Chains A and B, each alone.
Chain A
Amino acid sequence: MKLRRNIYAKENMTGYLFILPQMLVFLLFLVYPIIEGIRLSMYRINYQSETFVGFDNYLTLISDPVFFKALFNTVIFVVFIVILTVGFALFVASAIFDKNARYVSFIRGSYYIPVMVSMVVMSMVWSFLLNPANGLISYFARDMGLGTVNLLGNPKTVMPVIIFVTFATNVGQAIILYIAAMIGVPKDLFEAAEVDGASRWQVILKILIPSVKPTTVYITIINIIAVLKIFVVIQLLTGGGPNNASVTLMYYLYNNAFKYNQLGVASAVGVIMFIITLLLSVPQLKSMLQEK
């Protein structure tokens, strides 16, 4: 009995030794920054010293209306971009997954091109189109006598524009995943549906969407996390403006850390974002694990 336990322990030890490098990397680059971020969120930091200030940085955040604006905007971005991405990707994938392979590849490739292009480049292209001083859209609008078109300078239009730009850039990834998942759905289900005389709409609703539920959960989680970190498009297109109308938590964190040198406050924002991500992801992960 003892001998068997020893062999078992030794075999396990080999396994643990194999995952040790990954664990070290995980602890060093993921766990340690999180702990350090939590620690820094309780300090006031300048180049020469760190002073413990308790929860002062969190109080500073609570008393700053821009923080709440950033929180609100981030939630709006997450809700709209995730719904749009999942909805549109489902629509495209379910429309083409059973078509000719070449056609599927063409559609897949077309939607995936913007994903491959850097977000910085995409933002610069959109900036070139939307800039009210010398942008192409403004130029044509003026030329056609429509007056000044300033979509990024209007608090009512700036959010929809950024939502659209981000959605258009990211949706290719979700389409690829959905097509792959839909191709994997057993063919006999579709044959049975055909025998039963189900319409295409019924097939999508009753067979396809429930069959790709794990993919939907995965895409939702990945997009929530990605959109929570939305930054480049804000930095390059609006700078959080006009009058903080498009500021997000990540941009607010960046401003505090690298423009205002308030590293403690920035760390506090990071901790809050970490908690929000955790809260949003845990129920989804839980449902995914339960199903397994």
Chain B
Amino acid sequence: MFKKRLLMTTVALMVIVSMIAGCSGNNTAGNGAASSNAGKGGKEKVEITAWLTPQWKGVLDASEQGADYDSFLKYAAKKFATQYDKYDASVKVEVIAGDQRDQLLNVNLSSNTPPDVFFESVFPMGDYVHRGALVPLTDIVDDEAKKDIDQSFWDAVTFGKDVYFYPFQHNPGTLVYNADMFRAAGLEKFVGDENEIKTWTMDEYQQILDGLKNNLPKDKYANAYPMALYAVNNQGDTWNLAYLRMFGNKFFSSEGNIVLDDANGAKAAAWLKKLYDSGYTNPGAESVSSNDANAMFQNQQLGISFTNPILFSNMKTNMENGTSPKFDVRLANIPSESGDPLSFTYVVGASVFQSGNAKKVEVAKDFVKFFSTDPELVKSSKNGIPVRSSVAEELKGENPLFAAYDANSKYLFNFTGNVPGYSQLREVLYPELQALYLGQKTPEQMVKDYQTNGNKVIEQNKAGSVIYNK
């Protein structure tokens, strides 16, 4: 009886242990194991994943039937799979929220299951190059692409000697304003043309803010504020960084360190604080996100807010669809004391993660090259601003703002400074802005602390950077 019981117990245990062993057996292979079996036409089946943050809806246009953020990559994946002859390849497309990008990527990198392709603005992805998580794409860039895409874009995606992102489009950041609200407040003379990016001087900007604050008819625009300020998290922080440069501060030294702690930096911080305290902005900036500000602008609760071509195009589509109130919406530059506008752009493109599986990396690189060069697919870059001269030239009649954005390009500043740890650096800014708005720190103290804490982050990340320690 006892022997029988012991035997049964042992057998049961062996089953459990073998189940555990079976479950954990593939762990070391990580991403690699899933892909190797026979597929269509006797070719080896390789499945890759492609992630993107919400860029634009539809393949070419948000007005398409069933348009969504993943439409373009899904369409590209289908087209790629049809013509690809090396393997039986399939691409699984997933959209992730922009503010969850780093969390999701870090979790997946830690568990050795990163996406194979990631389509995103280049600026927050530089860290992954420094950390050795991305594979170089230099070998898939040919001379034709080099000629068609301006060198400034290649510079933005080159780390050390290698290209790590295939540039697709770019999104210049500007201000956006409600021209109807301007007219209602008697500010017609400051309204630019429909296809112009208006530049105001600092004096003019103050007049606009005064006009919007004091002369806006309360019956038509109840609870409306002149401009947007937000600092609850790192969303839309590039505009906050631009405001801090308004009075001529250089922000980064040639060694890649923050140099905000000077008279110009403190003046910019004091300007922000003054606007906030004087009621020129939405209340509660310390706990408002840029998404909240965007929603407020679309509900006509803000006269001036932030935008880029994708947000601008989505906003216009929402107005046409009737999902948001319709009003006259136009673009303006971020003003500066020097009179020259402050202009920046987000280069958007695809990168390939090092999954540890050579075949997946190969297919991922081929997929990136395919949709970044295919003559039909590259036209989708019109949703932002195309990086390819050929596409911009072909479609310039379709979007008159292409010329306006192009005219702004001479004012571009490099907001990341190409420093390692830029994502972490973003986390340092908003708590300082919160302290400024709450009055816990003076403008001088705020810029000083941001510089100290920011430089600590940069120094820490330089030590771990594969580019700096090659």
Interface residues of A (CB under 8 A from B): 10, 13-14, 17-18, 20-21, 24, 28, 44, 46-48, 131-134, 138, 142, 148, 150, 152-155, 238-244, 254-255, 257-263
Contact = CB atoms under 8 A, between A and B. Distances in A.
A21 B435 contact: no
A155 B283 contact: no
B211 interface: no
Contacts of B399: none
Interface residues of B, number: 52
Interface string B1-29: 01001100110010011001000000000
Interface stretch (B77-85, B287-295, B403-411): B287-295
Q: Which of A20, A24, A47, A134 has the most CB of B within 10 A?
A: A47
Given A133-B292, A263-B110, A243 B434 contact: yes
A153 B287 contact: yes
Contacts of A131: 287-288, 292
B374 interface: no
Contact of B424 (A238, A241, A260): A260
Nearest to B6: A14
A243 B431 contact: yes
B285 to A, nearest CB: 8
A275 B424 CA distance: 28
Contact of A47 (B17, B109, B292, B460): B109
Contact of A261 (B131, B440, B466): B131
Contacts of A238: 232, 287
B427 to A, nearest CB: 6
Interface in B167-186: none
Nearest to A48: B132
A148 B283 contact: yes
- Scoring B106, B133, B299 by chain A CB atoms within 10 A of each residue's CB, the highest score goes to B106
A241 B103 contact: no
Contacts of A255: 427
A13 B102 CA distance: 49
Given A21-B16, A133-B293, A48 B286 contact: no
Contacts of B10: 17
A186 to B, nearest CB: 41
Nearest to A10: B2
Interface string B125-137: 0011001110000
A282 B20 CA distance: 32
B427 A153 contact: no
Nearest to B20: A24
Contacts of A21: 13, 16-17
A260 B464 CA distance: 12
Contact of A241 (B5, B127, B232, B466): B232
A153 B433 CA distance: 12
Interface string B83-111: 00000000000000000001100110110
Interface string B424-446: 10010011101101101000000
A256 to B, nearest CB: 9
Contact of B284 (A10, A150, A239): A150
Interface of B: 2, 5-6, 9-10, 13, 16-17, 20, 102-103, 106-107, 109-110, 127-128, 131-133, 223, 232-233, 282-284, 286-288, 292-293, 295-296, 299, 354, 421, 423-424, 427, 430-432, 434-435, 437-438, 440, 457, 460, 463-464, 466
Given A46-B464, A153-B286, A258-B103, A24 B17 contact: yes
Nearest to A265: B460
B296 A133 contact: yes
Nearest to B432: A243
Contact of A132 (B13, B287, B440): B287
Contacts of B132: 46-48
19 contacts: A10-B6, A21-B16, A47-B109, A48-B131, A132-B288, A134-B299, A142-B223, A152-B287, A153-B438, A239-B232, A241-B430, A242-B438, A254-B103, A258-B103, A258-B107, A259-B103, A260-B423, A260-B457, A261-B127
B6 A48 contact: no
- Smallest CB-CB A-B distances: 9 pairs: A132-B284, A153-B287, A148-B283, A150-B284, A133-B292, A243-B435, A242-B434, A48-B132, A258-B103
B233 A239 contact: yes
Nearest to B430: A241
Nearest to A138: B284
Contact of B292 (A46, A134, A242, A263): A134
B102 A133 contact: no
A20 B13 contact: yes
